[in-house]
Structure 1
Amino acid sequence: MAKTRKKGPLFTPVDKVNIGWFFRKYLRPKLGWLGLIFVLILAQGVVYQQFLAMTEEGLRVIFDSGTIRELLIICAMVFGLFTFRAVTSYVVPRVSAIVANDAIYQMRRDLIARLMRLDLAFFERTPSSEVILRLYRQADQLGLFIGQSTVNAARDALTVIIVSAWLIWQQPFLFGVSILVMPVIIGIMLVTSHFVKKFQQSAEDSFGAYINDIEEMTGGMRTVKIAGQEEVEQARLTEATGLIKRLLIRLQTAQAVVMPTLDMASAIVYMLVIGIGGYIVLDPAYDVDGADIVTFLLGLVIVFDPARRVAQFFVTLQANLILLGSIRDYYTLEPTIKDAPDATDDFDPRGDLVFEDVTFGYSDDQPLFHGLNLTLTGGKTTAIVGSTGSGKTTILSLLARLYEVQGGAITLDGKDIRSLKVRALRNSFSVVAQDIVIFNKSIWENIRYIRPDATEDEIWEAAENAEIADLIRRRGDAPVGPKGAQLSGGQKQRIAIARAFLRDAPIVILDEATSALDQQTEDRITRALARLGDGKTTITVAHRMSTVKAADQIYVLESGKLVEQGTHATLIAQGGLYATMFTAQRDGFDREKADD
């Protein structure tokens, strides 16, 4: 026996909550404009009712041998009515577009602010395509729906109500006959809305995956070209495109059921009204003439056309409820890393940074650190070295509270960093990271990003210190390409170093700061970094052991455990892991020089 698919209500409890949320937050402040729109579309509905009344009067003037003057007056009044409707038909969409787009702008603004508050973990587990989908495509579609479809549906609904009320007053019996098919129409709307919601959700998921595929393809095009995998990428994107095509066909097929159903219902109604109405006109027992029936039929035409659009609106509404719910989901997310109620910015950023019995893991069942203890002395240079995956960069992330420790504590100036204001803590750091964010702007603008209020002299000084001023002079205001595609790895890192100089924070974090530089450039930048860290707390994470020799203290990590610590000379003398790593890198470098 086939399983019966249960159809949901037109509006689920979640839909009602989402609609109420959007109205209260973004439309209620615009009630004055919404009131103006309502009054104007109400007037548009009255225009049709008056048109029917004048049409009936005009028919009687013709059939009852009225005067030409009376007929001209009626024609002039009808023209005036539709002139008024034409004016309001411009004003209404104009005002509604302003209201809707301002509401969507505010929603986007709030969504961006919400995203900026979320933890780094959210962005590491959420594809950027999903964020783009909500901020761009879904918000745009929702704005068009609210600004056009909703206002048009309200206008059509009021037209149906006003004209139907007049028809009921004129011919209640005939109107009763004409609504016999309403249960069928409502039933079809409910069934169709179920499928529309289902297919819309699948389509949105597929759009998100498709955007992600495009982003991966464009971001990895260098690898694609070198590996000769163009055909593989083409096949992958084509398959995703085909899935979207199939889903959109299903979605639009479900929506297409509504119009022919309403056309058939209209045909049945017109047949009944013409047959029964004609019989009433022919029967002398009824006080109904041809003008009454013609006007009633014209009224039905006026009612059924907007009624069809209202029915179509409710089907389209289901798709947009999916979009609204998708966007609202982000508003329910709360950051786990935020200021404590009694957070303070009263601390000395030049104090010691201390890990006290710290436990942390990216997953609960696989802790990376378990009881980690180390001290990053204020005003000194501390290096952290180790193999890939040993936890070096994680230490930096915990220092800046990009992640929260799961046990123990990290203190700065003797205060738990969880008791400090997040912004004040992070403003204490200048970071030169291996993975630097570069915008498609000039190098000058990329440096100024870290301090928009910096003076020209300050930016030039930072650029000179980072050995990138000459490149700025050569390139001028030319953009550097998406993600800095026109720059080398070394040039990108020198932008990061220039930013660190410009920010001039008391704690300097160098995360593989010279990893992309050749030896000659590295020597120059190392001297610059020494000037940057002069008198400051400097934390260096590096694979290149040669860059940490001058550190006051070196910590050696292995699989999340602190296995060695001391100065370069001490660790070399111990002959442990550090000495092995240093010797291996030095011998490898010597072989490279010999090969050259």
Structure 2
Amino acid sequence: MTKTPAKIKLPLYSAADRDNLRWLWASYLKKRSPWLLLVLVMILVQGVVYQQFLSITEDGLRVIFDNGTARELAMVCVVVFFLFAVRGAMGYLVPRLTVWVSNSAIFEMRRDLIGHMMDLDLAYFERTKSGEIIQRLVTQTQQLGQFIGLSTANALRDAVTVVIVSAYLIYKNPLLFTAAILVLPFIIRVMNFVSARVKQVQGEAEHALGDYMNGIEETVSGMRTVKISSQEQVEAARLEKATGRIRDLAARVQLTQALVMPSIDLSSAFVYVLVIGGGGYMVLSPAFDVDGAGIITFLLGMVLVFDPARLLAQYLGSLQAHVVLLDRVRGLFHERPTITAAPGALATFDTGGDIALDQVRFSYSPDQPLFDGLSMVFKGGQVSAIVGATGSGKTTILSLLSRLYDVQGGQITIGGTAIDKVQLRALRGAFSVVAQDIVIFNNSIWENIRYVKPEATDDDIWRAAENAEIADLIRARGDAPVGPKGAQLSGGQKQRIAIARAFLVDAPILLLDEATNALDQATEARIKSALTRLTQGRTTIVVAHRLASITDADSIHVLEAGALVEQGKHGDLLKKNGHYARLYMAQKQSQASN
């Protein structure tokens, strides 16, 4: 008979949790410790006010019970009003200061997150859901800011109130207070149970929320496909299912936290009954020097203790949830870029030299190698084309040249200098790229062109726009935004924005990745002369699917399944009647039939 393994009880705060909390303090809060100390002083004042309130109240009750004068009672009322005025002032200043401190800390955290994220490799963004990144940068940091600001300040105020008032009650009646706190172990046990459950469910809820946000982003981005394929109900059902999971997980967190208040309320009732009964006995018994005013004040003090204790218990329960958030936010800092400049990397290199791939090996996954010893040379100052079937590695070569990915064997050189010996900014600054995935911002066409070179003059931008055959569209649209991701533009108009950017950057090496694939033949013919001027004197590498657009290239490299199978000029490759010739003739016949 097999035995069921014993359930391992995990610590409430793991070593990682403690490390994250130390990181938060050292990185963003320690530098603000003078302001936090001021907040602590004001919170201590609030706690002392409650203690003094109890003392003055006891004196006021004795004035009433012992036939004091109206003047004495009036003085008690004035002092009580002054005490609560002081507490009110502190209650206004503490939130203002803590909100300022927490907002400043979260601003720095977001700034650091964004800066770190920008240094990460392209591979990170390709394997990470965009919804997860947005969730970390927006939602989770905001929740952390609220927690370390007002929530923590209020919890500290409650803790100080509990300590100071409890100390006063111990001073007044240690026997009665000791009896009253017999319930404390039960409360601690309940809080440990709740905190552990909240931490577990909160982690699941954060993952579910990240998936939900990513699903929304995918649906909105693909709305054209959703509409065309009439899949609105399918998408709505998918998002509704994710919404239901978030609802269920949130309910589990809230139901678990809901156990805290009834438990403490029942404990409070037990304590109040104990104080009333035990204290009443002390008043009636001649063995104790306790009067009615003292017991009423003690009972009022217990109320002042248990109310902030309830709030403090809520805070400790939610602390586990926010420890999970902190771990997820800091997780982005644990990501490390693998593509970095070597020590002593060069700031300049021969950008006009030959670009050579020497026995390059690369794969996106270990079980699917793409290049295994690929060697090819792109002559400096010439136009070279790369052609081949989809998946043959054409675009990957461009990514390797600009070190969006690093080779896993062999090397790539430009002008005889290995590209991993060059500073990344200098290397990528040598390229002007027109890629097939064009990034268009919801701004004017003019600003979209200026994006790649903010310091460009108006004349430079107009010249680039004229060369790309998009100047007339700029005049027609003016400063009108083009919609999210350029939704108001055609594919050809987006492509011409990308081409205008290439004209504007004016880099020595030009990479054209399907640069004219979204253009009709008439438009392509209009900008072909401009593209010819752009390539003069520059090393140009063209990735093309439409072979008719690269017939004038100085050299054409034909890839098949990651291997170089042919190389030469257009005419020479046709004479070989090989792979390139078959591709060219197939496309020519297809165009003729259309």
Q: TM-score when scaled to structure 2?
A: 0.98
Distance 2:456 2:76 in 1: 72
Q: What is the identity, as a one-letter code, of the residue corresponding to 2:192?
A: L
Name the structure 2 match of 1:85: 87
Determine the structure 2 residue equivalent to 1:405: 407
Out of 561, 568, 574, the residue aligned to residue 572 of structure 1 is 574
Query: Which of 165, 169, 192 pairs up with 2:194?
Result: 192
**What per-residue deviation string (whole Å, max 9, x for no partner) do you get for residues 449-484 of structure 1?**
101111111111111111111111111111111111
Q: Which amino acid counterpart does residue 59 of structure 2 have in structure 1?
A: E
Q: How does 1:322-471 map to 2 (within 5 A)?
A: 322-471=324-473
SS of structure 2 residue aligned to 1:342: coil
- C-alpha separation in 2, matches of 1:3 and 1:571: 70
Is residue 475 of structure 1 aligned with residue 477 of structure 2?
yes
Aligned-residue sequence identity (percent) comes to 59
Distance 1:368 1:524 in 2: 37
Kindly provide the amino acid, as one letter, of the partner of residue 343 in structure 1.
Answer: A
* Aligned amino acid, residue 527 of structure 1: S
Q: CA deviation at 1:293?
A: 0.4
Q: CA shift at 1:526, angstroms?
A: 2.0
Other structure's SS at 1:508 match: strand
Shift of 1:5: 4.7
The answer as to whether partners of 1:7 and 1:191 remain within 8 angstroms in 2 is no
Quote the RMSD (CA, aligned, Å). Answer: 1.1
Q: What's the offset of the Cα at 1:40? A: 0.6
Q: Number of paired residues?
A: 592
Alignment of 1:10 onto 2:3: no
Matching residue's letter, 1:292: G
Q: Cα gap change, 1:498/1:528 in structure 2, threshold over 3 Å: closer, same or farther?
A: same
Query: Higher mean Cα deviation, 48-57 or 455-464?
Result: 455-464
Give the deviation of 1:346 after TM superposition. 2.5
CA distance in 2, matches of 1:285, 1:16: 50
CA distance in 2, matches of 1:432, 1:518: 17
Structure 1 stretch displaced more, 394-403 or 522-531: 522-531
Shift of 1:8: 2.9
Partner SS, residue 521 of structure 1: helix
Contact persistence 1:7–1:190 (CA under 8 A): no
Cα gap change, 1:2 to 1:272, in 2 (>3 Å)? farther
2:502 paired residue number: 500
Q: Of residues 320, 323, 331 in structure 1, which corresponds to 2:322?
A: 320
Select between 263-272 and 519-528 the one with higher mean Cα deviation.
Answer: 519-528
Q: Aligned partner of 1:454: which letter? A: A
Equivalence map 1:496-535=2 (5 Å):
496-535=498-537
Q: CA deviation at 1:213?
A: 1.2
1:4 Cα deviation after fit: 6.2
Q: Secondary structure at the match of 1:556?
A: strand
Partner residue in 1 for 2:34:
32
The DSSP-based 3-state class of the residue aligned with 2:336 is coil
Out of 53, 61, 70, the position equivalent to 1:68 is 70
SS at match of 1:362: strand
Match of 2:225 in 1: 223
CA distance in 1, matches of 2:253, 2:323: 14
User: What CA distance in whole angstroms lies between the structure 1 residues aligned with 2:68 and 2:6?
Assistant: 63
- Counterpart CA distance in 1 for 2:413 and 2:274 is 84
Contact kept, 8 Å, 1:514 with 1:525, in 2: the verdict is no
Cα distance between partner residues in 1 of 2:196 and 2:153 = 23
Alpha-carbon distance, 1:504 to partner: 0.7
Q: Secondary structure at the match of 1:294?
A: helix
Unpaired runs of 5+ in structure 1?
Answer: none
> Which residue identity is paired with 1:410?
I
Aligned to 2:115: 113
Which residue of 2 is the match for residue 244 of structure 1? 246
Give the SS at the match of 2:410.
strand
Question: Can you list the C-alpha shifts for 1:495-537, whole angstroms capped at 9, x where unaligned?
Answer: 1011111111100000000000000001122222112111101
- 1:182 is matched with 184
Name the CA distance, whole Å, in 2 between partners of 1:361 and 1:256: 52
Whole-Å Cα distance in 1 between the matches of residues 473 and 149 of structure 2? 48
Matches within 5 A, 1:221-300: 221-300=223-302
CA deviation string 1:303-333 (max 9, x = no partner): 1000111111010000000000001111111
1:365 shift after superposition: 2.4
| Residue 541 of structure 2 is aligned to residue 536 of structure 1 | no
Task: Tell me the amino acid that sits aligned with residue 561 of structure 2.
Answer: S
> How many angstroms apart in 2 are the aligned matches of 1:566 and 1:193?
69
Q: CA deviation at 1:7?
A: 4.0
Secondary structure in structure 1 of the residue aligned to 2:340? coil
Q: Shift of the alpha carbon at 1:230? A: 1.3
Give the aligned residue type for 1:487: L
Residue in 1 that maps onto 2:148: 146
- Counterpart of 1:330, as a letter, is L
How far has the Cα of 1:9 moved from its partner? 2.7
Which aligned runs of 4 or more in structure 1 are off by greater than 2 angstroms?
A: 1-10
Distance 1:18 1:532, change over 3 A: same
CA distance in 1, matches of 2:441, 2:46: 50
What is the CA–CA distance in structure 1 between the aligned matches of 2:7 and 2:309, rounded to whole Å?
28
Gaps of at least 5 residues in structure 2 are: none
Contact 1:360 1:367 in 2 (8 A): yes
Higher mean Cα deviation, 117-126 or 4-13? 4-13
In the alignment, the residues of structure 1 paired with residue 486 and residue 182 of structure 2 have an alpha-carbon distance, to the nearest angstrom, of: 67
- Give the CA deviation at 1:3: 7.0
SS at match of 2:369: coil
Distance 1:532 1:85 in 2: 73
**SS of the counterpart of 2:515?**
coil
Amino acid of the structure 2 residue aligned with 1:575: N
Q: CA deviation at 1:2?
A: 7.7
Q: Which moved more, 1:315-324 or 1:471-480?
A: 471-480
Cα offsets for 1:193-228 (capped at 9, x unmatched): 111011111111111111111111111111111111
Corresponding letter in the other structure for 1:532: L
Distance 1:213 1:371 in 2: 40
Q: Is the 8 A contact 1:117 1:335 kept in 2?
A: yes
**AA matched with 1:499:** R
Alignment equivalent of 1:96, drawn from 78, 98, 110: 98
Shift of 1:337: 0.2
Give the AA of the match of 1:201. Answer: G
Deviation at 1:284, TM superposition (A): 1.1
Shift of 1:429: 0.3
Partner of 1:559: 561
Query: Are 2:71 and 1:51 equivalent residues in the alignment?
Result: no
2: distance between equivalents of 1:160 and 1:6? Answer: 34
CA distance in 2, matches of 1:249, 1:372: 56
Moved more, 390-399 or 577-586: 577-586
Q: Which amino acid aligns with 2:32?
A: K
Aligned to 1:368, what secondary structure does the other structure show?
Answer: strand
